[in-house]
């Protein structure tokens, strides 16, 4: 993991309320690929909502999608991601680096090789990082360069005494010597006088025989040693990026706490939740909130500043006058948006509506070149895979509501605020395919859930965060055509 020391352009975040700094440590249950350099807890807004900011510093080569953004529980409160801010900075980039060297050797004896290798090496990388690396003894490997064959001549001699005649036929033509067969090459004779049993003189011969042969052997022509040196290298004046993950919170109901009062029970954000489980995008969208009408539980939208015929300029954010700035079709009015007091069609998500890949269907928005699978729930596990379906809303008839990320790798809904009236949205499920036309793009309060209320017409409603404005959400409404 890379560590970055910032030397300029410190991140500035303006917050309401008091702030308390905490140790930079990962929350229980989170499988972090990066660790925050600071964690700050503070209160926000007139209701003193508890929030936590986690700040990370990454190089441009780091993948910000690995920053932990999953929900977690701390001190009896459930925390959920509101926004992720980014600030480009200049600092000293420190990263782990490995250099592998190779050198020739006349031996494959590891003890001898280790004695010949340097314990440390200074390194300057091609991109300007410098540092001292140390030998990783476990990385040392020896390979044989190749093999050759050599042939040698073998010789042996044998003595054969007391022969009656100097006749080479009495001498063996070959012998076995140390596992090799040698053939007779030369014989030298010597003689001596002796007497037989009757006292008569006789001549005795001794043969000294020379045998020759050849032997071949295979040997290594040389060895190559490879070894890795590992350590930290650094480079000043690097472009680095500071990310701040902003988490809002709500009090955990007593029945939701872990047995024995243990609050650190948040699930692994990398695991896939079963349909219907997990946390919701905003704290007020709780299970059962739609029973009896959402207005009675969380209030209706208070829309100010809407201008008939206005449109969102791509890449810009409408200003907020009061609670909401609304973009609507010409001749429309804020009352066209369901306020939660209507009753209409509703299609429950049942097991037979799931595709084999676990999705509920596909959303297509040609104007922003988007095709994304839809999964049940708006928890972090669902939104990592695609768009999430608000579990207490319809999946087909009436008002089908979906959420998605607006940044990072899975920023499927990152451009929905650029949609204009009349742009089409297609929803395909196991029940069929419907095409909807965008009628409004509005910026609503994070606490405004009126857009998820049941409706008499068939529509889709899309939600995502507003960049650098965690107190708001983008809400896109599209009505079925035809």
In order, the DSSP letters of 109-145 are -HHHHHHHS-SEEEEE-TTS-EEEEEEEEEEEEEEEE
Instruction: Name the burial class of residue 126, with classes exposed (0-12), middle (13-18) and buried (19+) by CB atoms within 10 angstroms of its CB.
Output: exposed
- What does the pLDDT profile of the chain (482 residues) look like in tens digits? 344 443 333 333 333 333 333 434 444 434 346 888 889 999 988 878 899 999 988 887 788 888 988 888 888 888 989 888 998 888 788 888 999 999 999 999 999 999 999 999 999 999 899 999 999 999 999 999 999 999 999 999 999 998 989 999 999 999 999 889 999 999 999 999 888 888 888 899 999 999 999 999 899 999 999 999 999 998 888 888 889 999 998 888 765 333 333 443 333 333 333 333 333 343 333 333 333 222 222 222 333 333 333 333 333 333 333 333 333 333 333 333 333 333 468 999 999 999 999 999 999 999 999 999 999 998 888 888 899 999 989 999 999 999 998 877 678 998 999 999 999 999 999 999 999 999 999 999 988 888 999 999 999 999 999 888 888 899 999 999 87
**How many Å apart are CA 180 and CA 20, to the nearest integer?**
88
CA distances for 373 relative to 7, 65, 402, angstroms: 42, 19, 11
Q: Tell me 456's DSSP state.
A: S
Q: Is there a contact between 282 and 78 (Cβ–Cβ < 8 Å)? A: no
- Give the Cα separation of 325 and 328 in Å (integer): 10
Place of tokens 């459930």: 78
Q: Residue count of the chain, please give it.
A: 482
Residue 155's nearest CA partner among 206, 191, 208 is 208
Helix and strand numbers (H, E) in the chain are: 3, 21
Give bridge partners of residue 308 from the DSSP assignment. Answer: 328
29 neighbors 267 (Cβ within 8 angstroms): yes
Sign of the C-alpha dihedral, residues 78, 443, 43, 406?
Answer: positive
For 13, the token pair is 């975040």
pLDDT computed for residue 92 by the predictor? 80
Question: Alpha-carbon distance 232 to 1, whole Å?
Answer: 11
Helix (H, G, I), strand (E, B), or coil: what is residue 256?
helix
Residue 202 region by backbone torsions, left for phi larger than 0, else alpha for psi between -120 and 50, else beta: beta
- Residue 339 has a pLDDT of 32
Contact between 111 and 312 under an 8 Å Cβ cutoff? The reply is no
The C-alpha atoms of residue 252 and residue 250 are separated, in whole angstroms, by: 6
* Non-local CB neighbours of 112 within 8 Å, separated by 6+ positions: none
Q: Which residues of 337-374 are buried (b: 16+ CB within 10 A; e: fewer)?
A: bbbbeeebbbbebeeebbeeeebbbbbebeebebebbb
Tell me the DSSP string of 171-240: S-SEEEETTEEEEEEEEEEEEEEEE-TTS-EEEEEEEEEEEEEEEEEEEEEEEEEEEEEEEEEEEEEEEE
- CA nearest 64: which of 434, 474, 410, 469? 410
Question: 213 and 153 in contact (C-beta within 8 Å)?
Answer: yes
Say what the pTM is: 0.37
What's the Cα-to-Cα distance from 286 to each of 165, 195, 252, 447, rounded to whole Å?
119, 127, 12, 12
The whole-number pLDDT of residue 232 equals 92
CB atoms closer than 10 angstroms to residue 222? 12
Residue 195 CA to its chain's centroid (Å)? 101
The CB density around residue 71, as the number of other CB atoms within 10 Å, is 22
Give residue 256's pLDDT: 38
Q: 358 — alpha (psi -120 to 50), left (phi > 0) or beta?
A: left
HSE-CB at 341 with a 13 A cutoff on CA atoms is 7
Cα atoms found within 13 Å of the Cα of residue 15, Cβ hemisphere only: 22
How many whole angstroms from its chain centre is CA 321?
41
In angstroms, rounded to a whole number, what is the distance separating the alpha carbons of residues 277 and 266? Answer: 13
d(CA 279, CA 274): 12
Tokens, residue 356: 């084999």
């Amino acid at each position: 993991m890379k560590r970055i020391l910032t030397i300029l352009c410190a991140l500035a975040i303006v917050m309401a309320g008091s702030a308390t700094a905490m140790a930079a440590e990962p929350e229980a249950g989170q499988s972090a690929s990066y660790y925050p350099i600071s964690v700050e807890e503070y209160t926000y807004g007139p209701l003193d909502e508890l929030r936590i900011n986690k700040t990370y510093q990454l190089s441009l080569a780091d993948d910000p999608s690995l920053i932990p953004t999953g929900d977690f529980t701390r001190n009896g409160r459930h925390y959920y991601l509101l926004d992720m801010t980014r600030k480009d900075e200049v600092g000293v980039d420190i990263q782990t680096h490995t250099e592998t060297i190779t050198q020739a050797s006349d031996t494959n004896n590891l003890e001898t090789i280790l004695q010949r290798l340097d314990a440390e090496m200074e390194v300057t990388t091609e991109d300007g990082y410098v540092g001292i690396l140390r030998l990783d003894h476990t990385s040392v490997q020896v390979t044989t360069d190749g093999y050759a064959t050599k042939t040698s001549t073998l010789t042996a001699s044998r003595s054969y005494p007391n022969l009656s005649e100097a006749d080479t036929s009495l001498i063996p033509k070959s012998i076995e010597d140390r596992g090799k067969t040698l053939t007779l090459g030369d014989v030298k004779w010597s003689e001596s006088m002796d007497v037989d049993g009757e006292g008569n003189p006789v001549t005795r011969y001794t043969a000294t025989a020379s045998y020759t042969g050849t032997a071949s052997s295979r040997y290594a022509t040389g060895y190559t040693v490879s070894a890795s040196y590992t350590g930290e290298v650094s480079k000043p004046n690097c472009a680095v990026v500071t990310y701040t993950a902003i988490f809002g919170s709500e009090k955990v109901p007593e029945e939701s706490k872990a047995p024995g009062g243990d609050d650190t029970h948040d699930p692994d954000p990398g695991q896939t939740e079963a349909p219907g489980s997990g946390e919701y995008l905003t704290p007020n969208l709780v299970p059962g909130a739609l029973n009896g009408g959402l207005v009675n539980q969380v209030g209706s939208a208070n829309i100010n500043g809407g201008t008939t015929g206005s449109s969102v300029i791509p890449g810009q954010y409408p200003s907020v006058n009061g609670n909401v700035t609304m973009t609507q079709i010409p001749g429309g009015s804020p009352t066209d948006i369901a306020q939660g007091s209507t009753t209409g069609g509703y299609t429950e998500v049942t097991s037979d509506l799931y595709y084999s890949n676990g999705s509920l269907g596909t959303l297509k928005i040609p104007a922003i070149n988007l095709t994304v699978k839809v999964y049940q729930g708006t928890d972090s596990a669902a939104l990592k895979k695609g768009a999430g379906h608000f579990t207490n809303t319809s999946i087909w008839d009436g008002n089908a509501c979906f959420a998605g990320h607006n940044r990072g790798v899975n920023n499927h809904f990152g451009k929905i605020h650029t949609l204009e009236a009349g742009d089409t949205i297609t929803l395909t499920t196991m029940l069929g395919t419907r095409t909807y036309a965008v009628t409004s793009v509005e910026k609503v309060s994070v606490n405004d859930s009126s857009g998820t209320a049941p409706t008499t017409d068939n529509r889709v409603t899309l939600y995502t965060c507003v960049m650098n404005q965690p107190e708001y959400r983008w809400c896109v409404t599209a009505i079925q055509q035809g």
